[in-house]
Amino acid sequence: MMASIDGLPPLRDVINTHELFAKKALGQNFLLDLNLTSKIARQAGDLTKCDVLEVGPGPGGLTRALLHEGARRVVVIEQDERCLPALKEVADHYNGALEVLLGDALKIDPMEHLTAPVRIVSNLPYNVGTELLTRWLAPSEWPPFWQSLTLMFQKEVAQRIVAKPRTKAYGRLSILAQWRCDAKILMEISPVAFTPPPKVTSSVVHLERLENPRFPAEAKTLSRVVAQAFNQRRKMLRASLKGIVPDLEDRLIAADIKPTQRAEEIDLERFCKLSELIRQ
């Protein structure tokens, strides 16, 4: 068996040894190229003084890269218990710098296992990716427990995160991400890089938190306003936001928005202003 850069067996051997055939229901598309996982880990920022949270380590390709790049500790949440023996080998190799939590990332609170500063780096299962991102972006208090998010999404979702007004991709995710973070796309990853290959192209997104949101707003109200505004994105705001407050048109005008404008035309600042006016 040929050793790989970190002295552990190549991922293909790990998968064969532990019979980790991919399960579609768990969104399992594994990255087996350790050069690629290293590239992702390097672009996540300086990990040496950080704890890293990774959701869905699978056989541990990205996990190994994070540890190899010098992360102080890595905490992973994996739902598939078949992956535990492979992850245990990684934990042993790195003298306990890896902690494995078994379960559903939507239900587990990893906070007590993490010490600040924390960076989150994950090749997320597509079925839970946007839900987790929304939760990480929209806590009521800011700054959050994490410093940055480096996440793999399908390309279309990545484009929504960084989209600007008056584009098709602009929507709730763009607003929530750009309100409190600097967001950029780091790289595109072709389906053939994964085993098995997914149907879509993927992109890695990096979000670095701002210490203070760009404009004042309350997360819950802003989320609700943009969700409703973009739910019927082709409608004028006076129609799509109907019922959200009794005197909607006055508040739209007070936020410098024409009631006949559509959600797509409204920038972040005006959405924040509107959500503050609606909250009052």
Q: Which residues bind ligand SAM (CB under 6 A)?
A: 26-31, 55-58, 61-62, 77-80, 104-106, 123, 125, 128
Nearer to ligand SAM, 33 or 264 (CB): 33
Q: How far is the CB of 45 from ligand SAM (least distance, A)?
A: 18
Question: Which of 29/178 has CB closer to ligand SAM?
Answer: 29
Nearest-approach distance from CB 161 to ligand SAM, in angstroms: 18
Cis upstream peptide for 117 (omega within 30°)? yes
Cβ closest to ligand SAM, residue 191 vs residue 216: 191
**Shortest distance, CB of residue 217 to ligand SAM, whole angstroms?**
29
Taking CA atoms, 11 is separated from 58, 61, 94, 122, 165, in Å, by 11, 7, 16, 17, 42
Nearer to ligand SAM, 24 or 234 (CB): 24
Cβ proximity to ligand SAM: between 62 and 248 the closer is 62
Instruction: Please say whether the beta carbons of 197 and 213 come within 8 A.
Output: no
d(CA 47, CA 45): 6
Please state the φ and ψ torsions of residue 13, each to the nearest 5 degrees. -70, -40
Q: Which is nearer to ligand SAM, 22 or 244 (CB)?
A: 22
| β-bridge partners, 132 | none
Of residues 125 and 171, the one with the C-beta less far from ligand SAM: 125
Least Å from the CB of residue 95 to ligand SAM: 21
Closer CB to ligand SAM, residue 28 or residue 147?
Answer: 28
User: At closest approach, how far in Å is the CB of 24 from ligand SAM?
Assistant: 10
d(CA 74, CA 72): 7
Report the C-alpha gap between 189 and 250 in whole angstroms: 46
Whole-number minimum distance, CB 120 to ligand SAM, in Å? 13
Q: For residue 56, give the nearest of 90, 86, 32, 80 by alpha carbon.
A: 80
Q: Please, are residues 136 and 120 in contact by the beta-carbon 8 Å criterion?
A: yes
Runs of H (alpha helix) within the chain: 11-17, 34-43, 61-68, 84-93, 126-137, 155-162, 172-180, 219-231, 237-240, 248-254, 268-279
Beta strand pairing call for 148-154 and 202-209: antiparallel
Measured from each CB, the residue nearest to ligand SAM is 56
| Min CB(176)–ligand SAM separation in Å | 21
